[in-house]
Structure formats: structure tokens, C-alpha cells
Structure 1
Amino acid sequence: MNILDNFINECDIALKTLSYKKNGTGRSYPVNQTNSNLSKEEKSLSAQLMRVNLAGEVAAQALYRGQAMVCKNADIKNHLVQAGEEETDHLIWCKKRLEELNGKPSILNPVWYAGSFAIGAVFGSFGEKTSLGFVEETEKQVVKHLEKHLSRVSKNDTDTIEILKTMRADEDMHAQEAIESGSESLSEPTKKMMSFTAKVMTSSSAYI
């Protein structure tokens, strides 16, 4: 595709992501039965956590698309696109669970998408090994983030717990796949910068 076609395609994907109409891989929803016997406080906490996770999945979509757009290696580009499709499942699940909890998405999601796309494109332009290293570190940080949420969510909210556990397993798998594909470890200052950026996003999305 030429530059204009690429631009139109990326705008289409961005709109579908932000309107939650993007298709995933078709995997079934991890929740078998909606848990409705939660207290008001338990529902409020779970909704807050899922709003943050939804924002994170919006950002993940953009990161993968940004990296894939500038990737010159066909195999690695396909890997990035496929991982992004698997992340779309998470996007769908988080949105569905948030609706079940009567919560609303963060109004800042378009900002996170635009910023993450740019960050993904920048890291992707440094070469395939650095791009894969960025994927590896991102997924490792997401795993830690999900583990914190698992420690906070009410034990009564088994539905949210199942979603978080499934997402954690997928994120860990993506990190391992990046390592196996030849990722190059990022510098400590870069890792800290990524962690700080993630904290800004999660803390803002929890309330806005």
C-alpha cells in the first residue's frame, strides 16, 4: 500500500478500536456467568480497575500498530500484527466487563491511542531487536500491573478475576515470544521512562 492507503487504513483501525468495534480472534469470553451479588463498593472498585485495563488495551493496540507500520522485517511485522489481534480480545473483554459493572471508559482513551501509536513508531524505527525489546518490557510491566489488580479486586468478583488471569497469561506469552524472536533488552533509563508513562496513564484513567 502507498502512504495514503496506509494512513487511511490506520485511521480506520484507530476508529474501530476507539469505538470498540474492532474484531479479535474470536476467543470466547473468559466469564461463564455474570457475578451479580457484589456490594456497591466491590462493583465500584472492579469498574475502576477495568476502566484502567481498558485504557491499557487501547494503548496496546496503538503500540503494536505503530511498531508494525515501520517494521521492515515481514516475519516480525506479522508477529506484531498477530499479537495486536490477540490483544484485541482483551479490549473486547474489558469493555464487556466494564459494561456489566455499569462503568464507563476513560474519556482520555483517544489521547492514549495517539500517544502510544507515536511511541510504538519511534521504538519500531530503531530496528527489529529494539522493537521486540520494547514489546518484551511492555508485556512484563503489564503482567506486574495485572498482578497488582488481582491483589486488589474483591475475591467475590470471580468474573473479573478470570478475565485478569487470562489476560496475564497472554501478556506473559507475548513477552516470551518477543524473547524467542530475538528481542534486545532495553536500557534501565528507558524501562523507568516506560514505567513512569504507564503510571501517568493508569492513574489518570482510573478517574477520568
Structure 2
Amino acid sequence: MSSRHYSPIDRLLIQLDTAAKTLLPFGGQPARPSPAAPHSDAELSEKDRRHVAGLMRINHTGEVCAQALYQGQALTAKLPRIRDAMEDAAAEEIDHLAWCEQRIHQLGSHTSVLNPLFYALSFSMGAAAGLVSDRVSLGFVAATEDQVCKHLDEHLAQLPADDVKSRAILEQMRTDEAQHATNAVAAGGLRFPGPVKIAMTLMSKAMTKTTYYA
């Protein structure tokens, strides 16, 4: 059933269900198997294991933010087709969320304790963007996904050469996120000016600095 037929109560329940799946341990079930599954685990030093776990924790929190962003935008989108596109993108991000969480636990670490805070902030930002206009909302998606791709490129460069499991996950995420950005622009997303992108970069850096350790 298309989301355009949902009542306001239905939408509220969907939002609560999505938040629970995003924030509770192993709450989301991926539609695709993890790209890491076919690969053997590498023998990492303790230093490398902690570093990779920190990187994957950042990426997991990024996916928490993506879920919240898309759900907030879907809630306030003007056109049903935009709302449906946001909800479809959020469903795809569930795969990334689960893959990152699985890998973090394989590395003997934990997801960020700050995830509820970042979820709330991202949901608010997504809802605000949707209230302005669908074009701004789509532009926000494109700009956000561009930031995510940059982070993924940086993390791929930092991974130990023999950690093929983490690399497989991040490479597939990189492909998916780039497609989300392309889709948002093609759907009419506003191209944000440089100063806005700089502000988004600074906010993103604040998130990565805190969640690497916590």
C-alpha cells in the first residue's frame, strides 16, 4: 500500500516504529545480506581493531542520522511522490545501518551512546527542510549524501589493507549513497551554495569527532 493512503495516526506509528528499529540493538532487518559475509576476518592488531571500530561507529551514526533525516522529510513533504521517495530511501538505509552494527559487534565494540541525540537533531532538520519546500528537502538530501561519500572515501583510505570485511561494506555504502544524491538532484533538488555546504561540513565533523570514541 502506498504511503499516501496512511492516516496521521498511521504515520505517527510508522515514525515510532522506525525510530525503535534505528536506535534499538539489531532493530532493523536488512533486505540485502552484508557485503562482508563472503569474506574472512583479518587478524587485526588491537590498535587497528579499535581504529576500525571507531570508523564503523561513525558510519553507523551517520546511518542513524540518515534514517532520521529521511523520516523527518517524509513527514513534511508536500508531494506524495516525494514522500514515497524519502521512505524508499530510508528503507534502503536500513541495510547500511544493520551492516555497520554487525561489523561493530564483530570488532568487539559498541554503537554510539549519542545516537538518540543525533537522531532527534536529524529528524528535526529533515522535517524543517520539508516544511520549506520539497526542492529544498531534496537538495538537503543531495548535499548530505555528498558529505557522506566524502567521509566514506576518507575511511576507505584509512582501513588496514587486509580488512576486506569492513572495506566491502563501505564500498557498497559508497555506491548506494552516491546514487541517492544523484536521484535527489534528478528529482529537482536545489543545489546548495558553498556557505551552506561549509556549515554542513562543520556539523558533520562535530559528529565524527564525538562518535569515534563514544
Distance 2:131 2:29 in 1: 27
Structure 1 residue 41, shift from structure 2 partner: 1.6
**Distance in 1 (alpha carbons) for counterparts of 2:199 and 2:75:** 23
* Deviation (angstroms), 1:5: 4.1
Q: 1:154 aligns with which of 157, 160, 180?
A: 160
TM-score by length of 1: 0.95
Contact 2:39-2:164 at 8 Å conserved across structures: no
Distance in 1, matches of 2:153 and 2:202, equals 18
What stretches of structure 1 of length at least 5 have no aligned partner?
none
1:131 alignment partner in structure 2 = 137
Q: 1:16 aligns with which of 17, 21, 27?
A: 21
SS for the counterpart of 2:213 is coil
Local SS of the residue matching 2:132: coil
* Secondary structure, aligned partner of 1:125: helix
Structure 1, residues 96-155: CA drift from partner, whole Å, max 9, x if none?
Answer: 000110010110000000110000001111111111111111001100010000111111
Task: Tell whether the 8 Å contact from 2:23 to 2:116 is kept in structure 1 after alignment.
Answer: yes
Quick one: which of 123, 134, 147 aligns to 1:141?
A: 147
Q: Do structure 1's residue 189 and structure 2's residue 206 form an aligned pair?
A: no
Q: Which residue does the alignment assign to 1:74?
A: 80
In the TM superposition, what is the alpha-carbon distance from 1:75 to its structure 2 partner? 1.0
**Which of 164, 170, 173 does residue 164 from structure 1 map onto?**
170
**How far is 1:4 from its partner?**
4.3
Q: CA deviation at 1:196?
A: 1.2
Q: Which residue of 2 aligns with 1:177?
A: 183
Amino acid at match of 1:23: Q
Is 2:78–2:130's contact at 8 Å kept on the other side of the alignment?
Answer: no
Structure 2 counterpart of 1:128, one-letter code: D
Give the 4+ runs in structure 1 shifted more than 6 A: none
Worse-matched range after superposition: 3-12 or 104-113: 3-12
Q: Normalization by structure 2: what TM-score?
A: 0.92
**Whole-Å separation in 2 of the counterparts to 1:86 and 1:2:** 23
Aligned match of 1:61: 67
How far the C-alpha of 1:195 sits from its partner, in A, is 1.2
- Percent of aligned pairs sharing the same letter: 39
Distance in 2 between residues matched to 1:157 and 1:5, nearest whole Å: 43
CA RMSD of aligned residues (A): 1.3
Give the counterpart letter for 1:190 in structure 2.
V
How far the C-alpha of 1:10 sits from its partner, in A, is: 1.2
Tell me the amino acid that sits aligned with residue 33 of structure 1: H
Number of aligned residue pairs = 207
Counterparts of 2:9 and 2:212 in 1: how far apart (Å)?
36
Aligned partner of 2:3 in structure 1 is none
Residue type at the aligned position of 1:79: A
Mean CA deviation greater in 40-49 or 2-11: 2-11
